[in-house]
Amino acid sequence: MKERLQKILARSGAGSRRTAEQYISEGRVSINGKVVTDMGIKVDPADHEICLNGKPIHCSEEKIYILLNKPTGYVTTLSDPQGRPIVTSLLAGAGISQRVFPVGRLDLDTEGALLLTNDGELAQHILHPSFEITKTYAAKVTGRPSVDAIGRLAQGIELEGRRTSPAKLKVIRETARFTVIEITIHEGRKRQVRKMFAAIGHPVLELKRIAYGRLKLGSLPSGKFKIIGKKDIEKILAGN
C-alpha cells in the first residue's frame, strides 16, 4: 500500500515525521537509487527500496520505548559537530539493536526524563502541540517569586511575541536564596521554562524534567534508563 514517504520514514524509526521531512528536503532520501525531495510523493515500501543516507530503511523493526534520566552535559541529538556526548551513548553495551532517537529535546544544561524510541508515529503524537501532551519540570529558581508572579505564569505570559498557554505551578520548597517550583506545560518552545521564569525576574538555576504526562521519572538514577511498555505509554498519552 502506498503511503507518504515521510510517514514511512517515521515508522521505520528514522525520526519524527517533521524530522523525516527535513531529511527529504536535504536530499538524504532515495527511492530505487534516485534522490527525491518531493514531500507529497507516495510509495509502497514493499515494492521500492527506500534509503536514508545511502542505507536501506526497514519498516518492520520491533518498536522499543526507553525512559532515560538524562544527565546534564549531554546533547539530545544523534550526532554533534562539537564533539559533545550524545544521549544515545548512554545505551551502549545494553544490547539494544534498534536504532532509537530522542522524542523532543532537553537542553545541554537540563536533566531528567527523556523518551527514546524508534516509533516515529508515537513521537509525532507526543510532540505535536494539538495533542497537548504535558511535561512536568522541577525548576530551582533564584529568590522567592511572589504569588502574583507565579499567577502570571499560570495564566500565560508574552514570550517573544507569543503568549504561553496556561501552566500549572506548585511551590515545593522555599529558602531565602532560592525556590523549587514544579511546573507543568504542554508546549515545547525552545528553553521555554527558563524563559518563563526569567521573564518574571527569577532565572532558573537548575532544571529537571520529572514526568511525561502521568509517567514519572521516579527514582531512576542519573544516566540510567529502563525499557517501558504499553501501560507506560498510556500514562504519557493520558496527560496530567
Q: DSSP readout, 12-67? A: TTS--HHHHHHHHHTT-EEETTEE---TT-EE-TTTS-EEETTEE--TTPPP-EEE
Q: Predicted confidence band at 119 (pLDDT cuts at 50, 70, 90)? A: confident
Residues known to be catalytic: 107
- Please state the rounded mean pLDDT for residues 89-96: 89
Domain with CATH 3.30.70.580 in the chain: 65-129+215-237
Take residue 15 and report the three cell numbers written for it: 525520526
Q: pLDDT per residue over 129-180, tens digit each?
A: 888 999 999 999 999 999 999 999 999 999 999 999 999 999 999 999 999 9
Q: Does domain 134-212 have CATH number 3.30.70.141?
A: no
Domain with CATH 3.10.290.10 in the chain: 3-56
In the prediction, which pLDDT does 16 show?
77
User: How much is the mean pLDDT over the chain?
Assistant: 90
CATH architecture of 3-56: Roll (3.10)
Per the CB < 8 A criterion, the answer to whether 117 and 123 are in contact is yes
DSSP state of 164: P
pLDDT at 240 over 60: no
pLDDT at 239 over 70: no
Q: Predicted confidence band at 124 (pLDDT cuts at 50, 70, 90)? A: confident
pTM as predicted: 0.78
CATH topology of domain 65-129+215-237: Alpha-Beta Plaits (3.30.70)
In the prediction, which pLDDT does 112 show?
98
Per the CB < 8 A criterion, the answer to whether 127 and 16 are in contact is yes
Take residue 28 and report the three cell numbers written for it: 538524504
C-alpha distances in Å from residue 187, one per residue of 52, 104, 167, 205: 30, 11, 9, 21
